[in-house]
């Protein structure tokens, strides 16, 4: 049986990762896992800082990984709407497909900062969707490099 493909994302806060993830899942007939939805439902009103985010995100990762790998092994395409914005995040995401010998694709969203900030201002969460949080998260953001051995597709999501 052919394995499914894993799709994951790299892009600044507000770059359009979730919008593109929904579209990719629909077009690829895949299953989408959205980190924001999982964290919001499992840990409502618990995330107010980067430290909170990391703590709760790390709690769900083992279950996400196990479930995604089962789906990939069953031939189902998996779209992980989880940020791959640091080398560590990308290594974890890539390990999901590598460990079951499935293919992956990283979608790198190239969205201008002013567009990201405009989108963040329209969001609903006044605690995490702020210009200050954008600045904090931007400090962690790194563009993937060749030595990460990723299959990358660049998407310009400006005004999207």
pLDDT given at position 138: 79
Instruction: Summarize pLDDT for 42-100 with one digit per residue, the tens.
Output: 999 898 888 998 999 999 999 999 999 999 999 999 999 999 999 999 999 999 999 99
The third-level CATH classification (topology) of the domain covering 5-155 is Rossmann fold (3.40.50)
- CA-nearest of 97, 26, 96, 104 to 63 is 96
Q: Give the span between the Cα atoms of 114 and 155, in whole angstroms.
A: 17
Mean pLDDT of 13-41: 94
Handedness of CA 132, 133, 136, 142 (dihedral sign): negative
Q: What's this model's pTM, rounded to 2 decimal places?
A: 0.88
Q: How far apart are the first and last CA of the chain?
A: 36
User: In the predicted model, is pLDDT for residue 134 greater than 50?
Assistant: yes
User: 10 Å Cβ neighbour count for 14?
Assistant: 23
pLDDT given at position 124: 63
């Amino acid at each position: 049986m052919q394995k499914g493909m894993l799709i994951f994302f790299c892009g600044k806060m507000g770059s359009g990762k979730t919008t593109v993830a929904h579209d990719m899942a629909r077009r690829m007939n895949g299953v989408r896992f959205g980190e924001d939805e999982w964290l919001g439902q499992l840990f409502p009103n618990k995330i107010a800082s980067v430290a909170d985010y990391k703590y709760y995100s790390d709690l769900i990762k083992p279950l996400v990984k196990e479930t995604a790998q089962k789906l990939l092994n069953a031939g189902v395409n998996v779209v992980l709407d989880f940020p791959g914005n640091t080398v560590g995040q990308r290594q974890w995401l890539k390990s999901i497909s590598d460990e079951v010998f499935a293919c992956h694709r990283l979608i790198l969203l190239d969205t201008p900062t002013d567009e990201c900030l405009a989108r963040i201002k329209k969001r609903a969460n006044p605690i995490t969707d702020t210009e200050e949080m954008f600045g904090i998260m931007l400090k962690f953001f790194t563009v993937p490099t060749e030595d990460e051995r990723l299959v990358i597709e660049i998407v310009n999501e400006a005004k999207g």
